[in-house]
Structure 1
Amino acid sequence: MRAGRGRRAALSGLMAEDNVLRHYQRAGAVLRDSRWRGQAGEIDLILQDGPDLVFVEVKSAATHAAAGGMLRPAQIRRIMASACDYCGRHGLDGATMRFDVALVDGLGRVEILANALVQD
């Protein structure tokens, strides 16, 4: 039973990421990496949006509000550390970075919170 829930959650997360990726691509962004794992943790999507590198954390739940409530300060720190790791490994130390949160509700609707992540 527990394994089935975990598998469903993983598939649901992948579908949400794909949905968010299509949303960004329709707006002209180009995928650089997905589910990239650095020393500090994983970044769901890394996109090139004009001159900006966009690091996207995707959260999905029944409602956008519930999805947004799932993001914690420790995770924000890990995402930012991973973004710096990514830039260092790819020679992008001077790149302009943006940290977005993409919320996906139970109906698959996407809400993008641009520049949503800031470190305390």
Structure 2
Amino acid sequence: MAHNTELGRHGEELAVGHLERRGMVVLDRNWRCRLGEIDIVARDGVDTVFVEVKTRTSAAFGHPFESITARKLTRLRRLAIAWCEQTDAPVGRIRIDAVSVLAPPEAPALIEHLEGVS
């Protein structure tokens, strides 16, 4: 479990760097409520972007994006609404993105970003 937690944190750090290099501003990380957790909330122009990050060391058991199911997307939409209801920040348009991080132990990470997955 500790390995997976550490891997997940590492992937989220890489995802934050990727988003910031693209000009996005991170507003919140690991935001939790009774419905679950949002990995990253960011601003992209007028859009408020809710980002799901999936990190793996390899694609041996499938690409990280494959673990984002319809059920997971429904939960992310509910979490986005909950975050918007609990913030004073201007929301603008809402978008849900996914970031995949393939981080092999002895090689550079590969980051993929899909905008508007839901």
TM-score by length of 2: 0.87
Equivalent positions of 1:1-120 (< 5 A) are 6-61=1-56, 62-63=58-59, 66-91=63-88, 95-107=92-104, 108-116=109-117, 118=118
SS in 1 for 2:85: helix
Instruction: Percent identity, please.
Output: 27
Which amino acid is the alignment partner of residue 42 of structure 2?
A: L
Give the distance between the partners of 1:28 and 1:41, measured in 2 at CA. 27
* Larger strand fraction of residues: 2
Question: Cα gap change, 1:94/1:34 in structure 2, threshold over 3 Å: closer, same or farther?
Answer: closer
Deviating beyond 2 angstroms after TM superposition, the runs of 4 or more aligned structure 1 residues are: 91-95
Unaligned regions of 5+ residues in structure 2, if any?
none
* Larger helix fraction of residues: 1
Which amino acid is the alignment partner of residue 44 of structure 1?
A: D
Residues paired across the two proteins, number: 112
Counterpart of 1:3? none
CA RMSD in angstroms comes to 1.8
Give the distance between the partners of 1:57 and 1:93, measured in 2 at CA. 21
